[in-house]
Amino acid sequence: MRIFRAAILVWLTLFASGAHSASKTILVLGDSLSAEYGMARGTGWVSLLEKRLKAENIDAVVINASISGETSSGGKSRLGALLEKQRPAVVVIELGGNDGLRGLSIRASEENFRSMINAAKKSRAKVLLVGMQIPPNYGRDYTDRFSALYPKLAKETRSALAPFLLAGVADRPELLQPDRIHPNAQAHPIMLDNVWPYLKPLLIK
């Protein structure tokens, strides 16, 4: 009887361990658009993502490593340590907006993104690249090359792509904060809807 009980305890321990390890970690590496800039905590699209996961019974944990003002260079420098610590199953890269607004080199941004994607894949994480666009006043050539960077990288690296985080938001002043740059709380459910169709398949495969 004691041997039987011991066997049951071992089985339960292994089962619990397996259930825990089945939980996937989603690492969001972003800028102010994902860091709830100017908003109450818990109202941004990343926080809403946690609620969406629970509602759809998807066993996943979200780590929001977003920092306001972050560039692709900053994300590149931080990602290695985050991958080692969090061991994510999926890495969501929401960066580049600050690169564009500062007029940084497209080539340099591309190299940074490629480095981040390669690092994530090397750690066996799936990658979701979140596309961004910048206002046309930066010049047609620059804005076109900037927008084209995301689908180009997604295709070349075989990564998933959410085409534009601010689709349905950027052209609606009522969904922006007074600075006319950052979305307000009403915009973030739309932003989540722009990401979710491309993120969900990475979690259920």
Tokens of 116: 């981040």
Query: How many CB atoms are closer than 10 A to CB 187?
Result: 23
Is 182 part of the annotated catalytic residue set?
yes
- Choose the catalytic residue: 68, 77, 182, 193: 182
- Choose the catalytic residue: 20, 21, 141, 179: 179
Buried b / exposed e over 11-22, threshold 16 CB at 10 Å, is eeeeeeeeeeee
- Choose the catalytic residue: 32, 109, 147, 159: 32
User: Which of 204, 163, 169, 173 shows the shortest CA–CA distance to 44?
Assistant: 169
Residue with the two structure tokens 């800039």? 37
User: Which of 48, 45, 53, 55 shows the shortest CA–CA distance to 25?
Assistant: 53
Is 32 part of the annotated catalytic residue set?
yes
Question: CA-to-CA distance for 26 and 10, rounded, in angstroms?
Answer: 30
Give the catalytic positions in this structure: 32, 179, 182
